Amino acid sequence: MTRDGIDGEAPTLDQARRQVEHYGLEVDPQAVLVAVRLISAGARVGRAAEAHFARFGLSTGRYRLLADLEDHGGEKSPSRLAADLDVSRATITGLLDGLEREGLIARRPSTEDGRGTVAVLTARGAQRLRDMASEHFGRLEAMVGGLSIEERAVFLDLLARVVRGSAALAAD
């Protein structure tokens, strides 16, 4: 498991230790390992999610947008979507373009703001969500099936704290 070259994906404690020593730093190798594993895990999970949504002709971003729209009654402005999904407005434009091309959402001008637009979930979009719901949620559940209820609670807590800590990466 700590072998080299075979699994080739998860960074090891040895690697972290070697690096820290190589530069003569006084940093805890385990802390580095946790950080590196999290970054690596994030990428892996992200790609798995992308493959998952591809089955339904969607991507992670497009699904999140659709689901958020539905949860909000089927209508929302792009700016609001950007804030709620925590991505840039430009990204929302791109996601809406794709979803509109497939007829899963529609854009209509805002009635109360001349600059504004509102994204509307179409019947087709709602249908797509319905069609995939069972398999989608089933797989999500299976993904965390290896953890007990208590472990899940602990994981949620730790994850939230590390995510908060990740601000330290980008700070300044």
Partner DNA sequence: AGGCAATAGTTAGCCCCCTAATCACCTTGG
Partner DNA sequence: CCAAGGTGATTAGGGGGCTAACTATTGCCT
Size of the chain, expressed as the number of residues it contains: 172
d(CA 6, CA 16): 18
Min dist. Cβ of residue 54 to a second copy (A): 9
Site membership for a second copy, residue 90 (CB under 8 A): no
**Which of the choices a second copy, DNA, none does residue 104 contact, using the CB cut-off of 5 to 8 A by kind?**
none
Closest C-alpha among 140, 136, 94 to residue 119: 94
| E strand intervals along the chain | 75-76, 105-109, 117-121
User: Do 40 and 10 form a contact (C-beta atoms < 8 A)?
Assistant: yes
* Contact string (CB under 7 A) for DNA, positions 86-105, x = contact: xxxxxxxxxxxxx-------
Q: What 3-state DSSP class applies to 55?
A: coil
Size of the site for a second copy (CB under 8 A): 77
Q: For a second copy, which residue of 2, 9, 73, 123 counts as binding (CB under 8 A)?
A: 9
Site membership for DNA, residue 77 (CB under 7 A): yes
Positions touching DNA (CB under 7 A) are 43, 47, 59-62, 77-80, 86-98, 107, 110, 113-118
